[in-house]
A and B are shown apart, each in its own frame.
Chain A
Amino acid sequence: MEQTLPWHKRLQLWYRHNREAIVAWSFLTPMMIYFVIMTFVPLVFLIVISFMRWNIVNPPEWAGLSNFQRIFSSSQEWFYFKVIGRTILYAVAILTLNIVGGFSIALILNQAILGKGLFRTMWYLPSVFAGAVVALLLRIYLAGSSQGILNMLIANFGFEPVDWIQHPFWMPVIGVIFVVWMGIGFTVIFFLAGLQGIDENLYDAAKIDGANDVQLLRYITIPQMVPVLLFISVTGMIGSMQMWEVPKIISSGGPNKMTYTLVYSIQNDAFAGLEMGLGTAQSLVLFLMLLVFIGWQLNNYRKQYHV
């Protein structure tokens, strides 16, 4: 019958049948176009430039794999290997402290404690500030002379002034503490949300069966927290692999390159050294490492839960 109708009637019918899809896509199309331009076009740039030799000023030249060869070569005493290894080491240390610390605090805060809202606020507070500004503040605290604030404070307790920023032990430790300190509030809030979402009946049932506190934690709380753990470990890994405030603002990668992380190296090579190809090649390496980590985590999760 439809063939006999005039075209505008048919259009009307078609519109009525597909109304929802038409409305949805008329809003989604501009959104998706913008999103693809702003996300995937830069990704393509990133990949293409990583095969180029380019200092911004002169036109880029094709360089094949040479940027990657430089990263994965033994030249300069395995310089880039060390940068990557160091970044992973920092990320693992930060993530471990973040998860263990955040989970413990969330467990404590999950009890009926007077003023727990205030404590929660205090733990989250550092996360609301700009990393760059706090890092700057820290750099001023850590100044090495006896006029430095931290040195002034420890002098009250009879300690000698320390050159914190040039100290081969303290600077990396401070770097890790700084990143954990900035991010742990986020972890605490998510673990708390997860803990409050656990079904009380599970605990009651286990208690009737005679489970003690440790068993409750081991067999109910932790398994129930796996989804939150997955979320925290993925976002935390993405975050801690990108540690840049410490080397960029506090230590300039020192002492002795001990805080020279991958993101700092990317910025250094791309914008200070004007080797865009080398910088983007490192970005690509970092991105692939993150993808492998995320894939590995999701895969573990799937295996455990058979989803």
Chain B
Amino acid sequence: MKRRKQIVKTVSIIFLIISSFCMIYPVLFMALGAFTTQERFLDANILPIPNTLNIALFERAFGAGVSRAYFVTLIRALFYIGVTLLVGLIGGYIFSKMRFPGRNKAFLLLLSGMVMPGILMLVPMYLLVAWFPLAGGNNIFGQGGHGFVGEWPALFIYGWVPPFAIFLLKQSFDMLPTEYEDAAKMDGAGFFTVIFNVYGPLLKPPIVALVILTFLGIWNDYLWPSLVISGNQEWQPIAYRISSVVLSDWSPVGTTDYPAVMVRTFLAMWPPAVLYFLLQRYFVQGMVASGLKG
């Protein structure tokens, strides 16, 4: 019996090592390829072996608008993280701790937003932005101009009330006893103090999980910017910018400057990876907190 367990474990570990390597292989290949010369890259057997820093290539990429795209994406990520946490905490608190008429109906309405696949809303959301009243030459009925299409507000206009964040934080509030709040209220704490100062510090795992998820969502956003901002180079976020830069000087036939391509994709991909490595402990905890029983 003991012997069999040992064998199962050894096989598991070997399988895990091989499969995990396969999972990260395409990304690892890219990351190492970003630091090799073309000759060394073309000689690669399984993985390219780094031999240079490719500073010129990085400089060229930043010259091609990547630094501006970093800035745009960061602003956008910070904005959405702020909005998600603010609305999520207030909404989660209200739905978890307060009793009032219409509570369950309002919560169900919010949850229905989670089954609405965002991708299908692209066309109508585009119209909503294009017909935004009094924007971009539109009249009060949203006709006559181009609305926010091609302008920066298009990147900031949707998703201020995120159902998933409210749901996750409501579940987390549910698990905290109300005594904290009662004690704080005795000391004269108001609505915001209770949410942000009393409960806030106790909700670190779900908050960090939301920070990561929001950051990833914004950093990786491609379809929406490709629709509403593609004509405006000033405001192209990173995923879209990188894709168009890579596509513009790569062709499926002929020789490719592979390290240049790898440097660019590397620039789009390192921040989410680093953030995830740093915060993953909280991330898993926070997801567990969403309470899969519910």
Seen from chain A, the residues whose Cβ lies within 8 Å of a Cβ on chain B are 20-21, 23-25, 27-28, 31-32, 34-36, 38-39, 41-43, 45-46, 49, 105, 108-109, 111, 113-114, 118-126, 128-134, 136-141, 143-145, 147, 149, 152-153, 156, 165, 181, 185, 189-190, 192-194, 196-197, 227-228, 231, 234, 238, 241-242, 244, 249, 263, 266-267, 270-271, 276, 279-280, 283, 286-287, 290-291, 294
Enumerate B91-142 residues with CB–CB distance to A below 8 Å: 91, 94, 98-103, 106, 109-110, 112-113, 115-117, 119-125, 127-128
Report whether B272 and A129 are in contact in the complex, using a CB–CB cutoff of 8 Å. Answer: yes
159-178 of chain B: CB within 8 A of chain A: 159-161, 163
A125 to B, closest residue via Cβ: B24
B127 touches A45 (CB 8 A): yes
Which of chain A's residues have a CB closer than 8 A to the CB of B163? Answer: 35
Complex contacts, A194 vs chain B, CB 8 Å: 292
Q: Whole-angstrom distance from the CB of B213 to the nearest CB of chain A?
A: 10
Whether A189 lies near B284 (C-beta < 8 A) is yes
A20 touches B98 (CB 8 A): yes
Chain A at the B interface: SS class: helix
Q: What residues on A are CB-neighbors of B13 within 8 Å? A: 113-114
Q: A42-B128, A113-B9 are in contact. Are A129 and B27 (CB under 8 A)?
A: yes
Task: Give Cα distance in the complex from A28 to B100, angstroms.
Answer: 11
Where chain B touches its partner, the secondary structure class is helix
Contact A193 B287 (CB under 8 A): yes
Query: With A133-B265, A193-B288 known to touch, is A181 a contact of B23 (CB < 8 Å)?
Result: yes
Q: Using known A-B contacts A128-B273, A197-B292, determine if residue A108 contacts B12 with beta carbons closer than 8 Å.
A: yes
* Contact indicator B121/A42 (Cβ below 8 Å): yes
Q: How close is A190's CB to chain B, nearest CB, in angstroms? A: 7
Residue of B13, B16, B288 with most partner-chain A CB within 10 A = B16
Q: Which residue of chain A lies nearest to B102 when distances are taken between CB atoms in the complex?
A: A25
Chain A residues within an 8 Å CB radius of B117:
238, 241-242, 286-287, 290
Q: Is B276 an interface residue (CB 8 A)?
A: yes
B219 contacts A by Cβ under 8 Å: yes
Checking A113, A130, A185 against B219 with a beta-carbon cut-off of 8 angstroms, the contacting residue is A130
Determine which of A20, A123, A165, A231 lies in contact with B20 in the assembled complex, contact meaning CB atoms within 8 Å: A123
Which chain A residue lies CB-closest to B276? A128
Closest chain A residue, CB of each to CB of B285: A193
Q: Which residues of A contact B124 (CB under 8 A)?
A: 41-43, 45-46, 49, 280
Among A41, A123, A149, max chain B CB count under 10 A is at A149
